[in-house]
Structure 1
C-alpha cells in the first residue's frame, strides 16, 4: 500500500509541476500582451469544458478539463481583409469557410473603439516578444530547476570511499557468477578493509581520485601495498597484497575489445575486490547553461528525426520491437516514470527528489523547443508570420513601395488544422504506447 501511495505521489508531484509550467508559459505571453495594450479576453490552463474561472478586469482566468496545454485569447489575432480585397485562399469550399470563420471570430474579439488594441496591429517586434514570452518562461524554469539539481543536490561522482568489498575474486573469463564455499577470500576482505573506509594514500602517495588507486592496484599483482584509510574519522594503516586475476580490455568507448580471432581480449591485473561509492558533488552555477544546452540539443535531435521516431514507437506499440528509452514520450509516460522513481524505497529520498525536479526541468526544455517549431498554432508559427511581415515591410520601404500591411495569417488556417490533427494523432500514439509498452527505468 505504501508503494502504491508513493507511486501516486510521484505522479501528482510531476502533474503539479507541469501545470505550473504551463501556467507560467501562458503568463509569459500574458504579461507582454497586457504591457503592449492588447486586450486579452481569456487566460486558460487546459482545453475543453471550463472547470473553474473568474473574471478580473477584462480577462477571464480559468482552468479547463483537458490538461494538455493552455492559451490566452488576444483580440485581433488575424487581420481583416484589405479594403477591396476578396480574402480568398487557394482552397475553396470547406477551407475557404474555415478561413472566413477564423477572421470573423477574430473580428468579434475586437470591441468597438478598441481597434488599436489588436494583436495584428502591434509592431512586428512586439508580436515576436509576446509569442516568445511563453518559450522564454520555459527556458527560465528549466534553468532554475537544473540549477537546483546540479548546484543544490549535485551530480553523482565516483568518490575515494569504498562502497563494497567482495568476498572473493572471480576472473572475467570464468563462468562463475557467485562466490563458492571453497573460494579464497578477496585480498581486501582478508585484510579487514570495510565498506565506508576512505582511501587516504597508497605507499605514501595521496589518493585524490579513485582512478589513482585503481591504477596502482592493477599494476601491482602479488606486491604488498601500504594503504592508509580513514575509518570513523581516524587514520588506519593496512597492508594488503593485490591478487593476480584477469579482466577484459576495454576501448575508449567502454566496449570490450576483440582479438583477431573474435574472442574478447583479457589482461592480467592486480585486484583487491573493492568498488567505489558514489557521492553527490554540487556543481558550480556555470555548469547549468551547458546542461540545459545539451538537453535542448537532445530534444532538437528527437524533433528533427520525429517521423522515424514515431515509426519506431508504432512498431513497438503494435509489434515486438522494444521502446527506445531516449525516444519521445507522452505526459502519461512522464507520469509513469515519476511514479516508478518515487515508489523505489531503496533509493534515498534526496535522489528521488532530484530526479523528479530534473524530469520537470527536461519537460520544460521539450516545451521550449517544441513551441519554437515555425508552424501555427505553435508559438514559432506566429513568430514566423511576424518575421515574414517584417521582411515584406522592409523591402517595401527600401524600394519605396506601398506598405503591404499585416500578413494575412488566416490563410494558413487549413495548414494549422492539419498540424493540430497531426499533433493530436501523435499524442494519441504516444499515450497508447506509454500504456501498452511504457518506457521503464527499472
Structure 2
C-alpha cells in the first residue's frame, strides 16, 4: 500500500506538470491535439472535439501534443493559432507553465500541511551538545570529566543562547586559548555541573580538547488553524525547500565526482516515499512538496529534452530573429532525450540492485 501511495504521488506530480502546459495552451487559444499522462500503450483514451486524452501504462512522464507536429492534421501552416506561429512570449509561457505548476502545487501542499498536521521545525535549545568524545582516554575532555551526551550551557560564566552561533562560540573559545583554563557549565541529565578544561596546544597553534560539538536542537511540529498565518508559514517552508534544492544541484555541479553517487532515480524515490508513508502522512506531504520542487528545478535546467532546453532555443530565436533550423533542433532534442532515457535506465538498475542487496 505504501509503495502504491508513493507511485501515486509521482503520477500526480507529473500530471500537475503536464496540466500546467495544457492549461497555458488552452487559455491562450493555441491549438492542441493530445494530452497524455504517461508513456507506452494507452490504458484509457477519449477523443474530444479537438483533443485526444489518454492515460498510458508507464506513469513516469507525459506530454502535450500539437498539430504542428502532424502534417496530416489538415490545418494550414500559416494558421495563427498553431504554437509555432505564436509570439515568443506566448510559447515561453507554454514551455515554463509546467515548472510554474509544480512550484505552485508544492506551495499549496505545504500550506495544507501547516493547516493540518504541521511542518517539521528545528527548535533550538540553550547550549551546545557533546555527542561524542575521542576514544583516547588521555584527551583533555576525558581528564576534565566531560561525557558524551553532556550539554555545555555556558563558557566562563557567559550563558550560551539558543541558536547556531553557540557552537562557534565554544569552538572559538577552545581554539583561541591553548594551555589556559576554561570554566564550563554542564548539564548532565537533571544535574548542572561545573568543570574546568585546559585545551592542549596543537601543531597549528590552536587549542583542542578532543570532543565533537553540535547544535542543541530538537524537532517539533508547527501548525496553525489561521489561514493567513498558514499562508506565511507555507511560504517560509517553500522558500527553505526551494533554496536547499537549488543549492543541492549547484553542489552536484561543483563537486560532481563526490556527489554523483547520491543522485536518486525513480526506484529510490518510490522507496523513500514508501518509507515516509509508513512513518506518517505529514511526512508524505513534505515528500510530495519536495519532489514537486525538484521536478520544477530539473525541468528548468538548460538541457536538451527539458523545458529549459526549449527555452534556450527560444532565446536563440529571439537573438537571431528567426528559429534554428528544424533539423538542428530535432537532432539536439533527440540526443538529449536518449541521454536522459539512458540515465533513467541506469538509475533504475542501480537503485534496484541497492534495494535488493545484490
Provide the TM-score with structure 1 as the length reference.
Answer: 0.57
Structure 1 position 160, deviation (Å): 3.4
Q: What do residues 353-376 of structure 1 show as CA deviations (whole Å, max 9, x unaligned)?
A: 465245424432443334x42x2x
Corresponding residue of 2:315: 387
Q: What do residues 85-112 of structure 1 show as CA deviations (whole Å, max 9, x unaligned)?
A: xxxxxxxxxxxxxxxxxxxxx2223447
- 8 Å contact from structure 1 (residues 299, 365) kept in 2: no
Question: What do you get for the CA RMSD once the two structures are aligned?
Answer: 5.1
Separation of aligned partners in 2, 1:367 and 1:439: 28
Corresponding residue of 2:337: 420
Structure 1 position 243, deviation (Å): 6.5
Q: What do residues 357-410 of structure 1 show as CA deviations (whole Å, max 9, x unaligned)?
A: 45424432443334x42x2x43234333333333343xxxxxxxxxx6x65425
1:115 aligned counterpart, secondary structure? coil
- 8 Å contact from structure 1 (residues 150, 288) kept in 2: no
Separation of aligned partners in 2, 1:301 and 1:50: 39
Matches within 5 A, 1:393-408: 393=321, 408=325
- 8 Å contact from structure 2 (residues 124, 217) kept in 1: yes
1:39 aligned counterpart, secondary structure? coil
From 143, 153, 157, give the equivalent of 2:119.
153
Corresponding residue of 1:331: 266
From 264, 278, 303, give the equivalent of 2:218.
278
Correspondence 1:360 to 2:291: yes
2:60 aligned counterpart, secondary structure? strand
Separation of aligned partners in 1, 2:25 and 2:285: 35
Q: 1:329 to 1:204 in 2, by over 3 A?
A: closer
1:173 aligned counterpart, secondary structure? coil
Q: What do residues 295-344 of structure 1 show as CA deviations (whole Å, max 9, x unaligned)?
A: 22432554x57xx95xx6xxxxxxxxxx947632211121122334555x
Separation of aligned partners in 2, 1:63 and 1:294: 33
Q: 1:161 to 1:132 in 2, by over 3 A?
A: same
Correspondence 1:295 to 2:261: no
Separation of aligned partners in 2, 1:330 and 1:419: 17
How many residue pairs end up in the alignment? 334
Structure 1 position 202, deviation (Å): 10
Structure 1 position 266, deviation (Å): 6.4
Separation of aligned partners in 2, 1:131 and 1:424: 20
Q: 1:140 to 1:367 in 2, by over 3 A?
A: farther
Q: 1:275 to 1:296 in 2, by over 3 A?
A: closer
Corresponding residue of 2:95: 131
- The gaps in structure 2 that reach 5 residues or longer are 223-231
More helix by share: 2
From 27, 43, 61, give the equivalent of 2:19.
27
Correspondence 1:209 to 2:162: yes
Correspondence 1:430 to 2:347: yes
Q: Give the structure with higher Rg (CA).
A: 1
Structure 1 position 43, deviation (Å): 0.8
Corresponding residue of 1:241: 194
Corresponding residue of 2:64: 72
- 8 Å contact from structure 1 (residues 29, 131) kept in 2: yes
2:33 aligned counterpart, secondary structure? strand
2:35 aligned counterpart, secondary structure? strand
Q: 1:117 to 1:107 in 2, by over 3 A?
A: farther
Separation of aligned partners in 2, 1:334 and 1:383: 27
2:219 aligned counterpart, secondary structure? strand
Q: 1:149 to 1:204 in 2, by over 3 A?
A: farther
